[in-house]
Amino acid sequence: MQVIMRVGILWVMAVLTMPAVAAPGIDLHWLWDDRCAECHGHAGDFARKFLCVSGGRLQGRHHVEDLHGFLRNHYLAGNEVDAVYNMLLAQASNQARFKDECSSCHETAATFVRNALELRDGVLYGRNSGRSVGDFLKHHRGLTPEDAGFFTNLLTRVAREVYRP
């Protein structure tokens, strides 16, 4: 009886503390590490090695025509399918430039974003420095304006994958 009451109280507390709006999406890089990495390793490495992009669509080595359909039945559910598909598409479309040029000091892009950066109205800033990443990168590591733009876009995309609305 006591146990049943406790369960009841916990249930009421859970309902009361539920957010009124939909819970934010899971951090996609965390999802990958939790659910996919044990078989496929690092997401970016996997995407670049085993997937390719043709006509704007993602293709696998085995699942060429309908990779999106395959993913619907492969460890993903609901809106995770689109989100993970888009993440892999972006990774397969780009070289591993963050890894090659930045990770010696900043680890992976996802880790760097989680530790140091935040989105404000869709624009990326240093969480503690308060600096705009777009402005900062114009004077960091001798990046050209094109490269500063490239890395700002890359980190902004990763921040959207990490901090999903």
Task: Provide the minimum distance between the beta carbon of 72 and ligand HEC in the complex, in angstroms, as a whole number.
Answer: 11
Token digits of residue 127 = 């969480």
- By CB atoms closer than 10 A (0-12, 13-18, 19+), residue 3 is exposed
Among 31, 32, 28, 30, CA closest to 45: 32
| Nearby residues of 35 by Cβ (< 8 Å), 6 or more positions away | 75
Shorter beta-carbon distance to ligand HEC: residue 7 or 149: 149
Shorter beta-carbon distance to ligand HEC: residue 11 or 115: 115
Task: Provide the minimum distance between the beta carbon of 11 and ligand HEC in the complex, in angstroms, as a whole number.
Answer: 30
The residue written with tokens 């402005």 in the block is 135
Task: Provide the minimum distance between the beta carbon of 163 and ligand HEC in the complex, in angstroms, as a whole number.
Answer: 15
Binding site for ligand HEC (CB under 6 A): 35-36, 38-40, 50, 60-63, 67, 74-76, 84, 101-102, 104-106, 116, 126, 128-129, 131, 133, 136-137, 140-141, 143, 151
Shorter beta-carbon distance to ligand HEC: residue 7 or 92: 92
Residues 32, 63, 50, 88, Cα dihedral to 10°: -40
